[in-house]
Structure 1
Amino acid sequence: MKLLLRLACASAALTAISASGASIIYNNGVTNTSNASGPAWVAGSNMFLNIIDDYGGSPLGPSGGSGASQNGFDLFDPGGGGLDITLLSWTLGSMTLYEGPGTATLSPGPATPGFEDYRYDDNGGLAPTNLTFFYNGAEWASGYVTRFVTEVANSADIDATGAGDAIITTNTPAGLAFFNEVMTLSSGTGQLSFVADSFTPVAPSDPGTFGSTGSITVVPEPSTMAALFGASALGITFIRRRRKS
C-alpha cells in the first residue's frame, strides 16, 4: 500500500507539472518496432527489442505523429503566431529495450503489471538524433527521446500506455521561432515529456506497428520531471487500475 501511494503521488505530481506546460495533442501516433525476441509480454507475445523509424512496409509510415490541437504555444495561437498546429509533425526512432541496472523492464503476470523500458540508441552512430520536428514538411528542430516506458496492467492487457522524456537541442533557420518558444517555456532546457494514452496494434507481427494517441508537453521544471519520472511512469499502473475498476 505504501508503495502504491508513493507511485500515485509521483504520478499526480507529474500530471500537475504537465498541466502547467504548453502541450501538443496528437491522435495519429505511429511506433514501429522490430526484433520480438525480448522477455515475455502480453497475450503470449514477447517484447520488441527495438523502436525504429521505419521498416519499409509499415502500414502507417515512419514512427512519429502530428498535432491535432495545442494549448499554451503562442506560435500556434490565433492571437499570436497563428500557425496551423496540424501542420506540425515529428519522426522518432532508434531506441532499444534496456534491461540493465535501474531498468523498469518487467514481464507482466496474470495479476501484476509489466513494463518495457526503452532508451535512446545512436544505432552505431547512424542516428545522431532520434527526434525531429517538421512544419509543413520543412525541418524545424531535432533532439532525442531519451527514455520511454510502456506499461500494461497484466499479461492479458493489450491496451498499453506509456510515458517518456525528450529534449530538443538544435534548430534550422525555419524553426527558430519554435525552438525559441520551447526554450522559453522550458527555462532554457528544451525538455519535453511524451505521454501515450493508448497503443493499438496495427501490425503486431515482427516487425510491428502500433498506433497511439497522447500528448507532448514542454516541461517547465525538468529537474523535477527527472526526479519523478521513474516512479511516475510506474505509478501509471495504479492510476489505470483505479480508472478501470
Structure 2
Amino acid sequence: MRKAILGAIVALLLVGAYASYVISYPKYPKVEGCVNPFAVVKPVSRVQENWSKINVFFKLATSRDFWKLAKPWNVDYSHVTVVKHTLEYKGKNITMLAIGALLRDKKHVVVYYEFSEPVRGMVTASKMFSINNSSKLKLVAMMINGRYKQVEDCTRECESDDECGEFWSCSSYCCDTNIRCFIGCCGSCGLACFSCLVGEASSCSECVLCVGTWCPTCGVLCCDKEGTVCLDWGNMP
C-alpha cells in the first residue's frame, strides 16, 4: 500500500514538474544565419558530471528537445554520459551541458545540448543517430530550440535564411561522418571509434556517445558531407 501511494506521489510530482515547465517554456531569440554552433565556438575545458539516474531522468523528462525524439523511460541509464563544457564565444566564456544517451533498443543514440547563452540563436538542441549492422552512423532526426525536423536524405534545402521564409531559418547538419577522423580528433574516444571503424557495430554507440558529449566540435571537423534544412525556430511573437 505504501509503495502504491509513494508511486502515485512521484507520478504526480513528475506530471506537475513537466506541466510547469511546458507552461513557462521560454521564447528563444532570433537566429543569426545558417550555422552549426560548434563551428563558431572554441573549447576551453570540460569535466564529466556524476549525475544520478533520477537527475538524468528529470532533466530529459523536462527537455522538449529530448522528449520529441525519445521518451526518458526508453533510455538505457547504464549508458548515459553527462559532460559540462566551457566554451569561448565572441570573446567570453559560456557553458554547455552535453548529455548522451543510448536507447534500450541499442540501435539509437540521442545527444542533447544546452547552452548557458544563445549561440547564433541556439539555446537547446538534440540529435538522434541510428546505428546499423554495417557500423554506419546516420542522423535521423534533430531538434533545435524545441522544433522538430526529420532528416531522411542529405539535401541542401537552403543556403541562407532568406530562402526559408519569415520566422524560419536555415540550419546546417552533418549527414556523412568520418569515423576514422574521430579517432584522431577525440583521443579519449579513440578505442571505441576504432572498434566501430573495423566493423564492431556495438562499439559505434559508444563512439557516438563519447564524441557527442566529450568532443562535439569534432562533428564539424570530421564531417564529409553537410546538408541544410529550413527550421521553424519559434521566433514568432
TM-score of the pair, normalised by structure 1? 0.33
Specify which structure has the higher proportion of helix: 2
TM-score of the pair, normalised by structure 2? 0.34
Higher-RCO chain (CA-CA 8 Å, sequence separation at least 6): 1
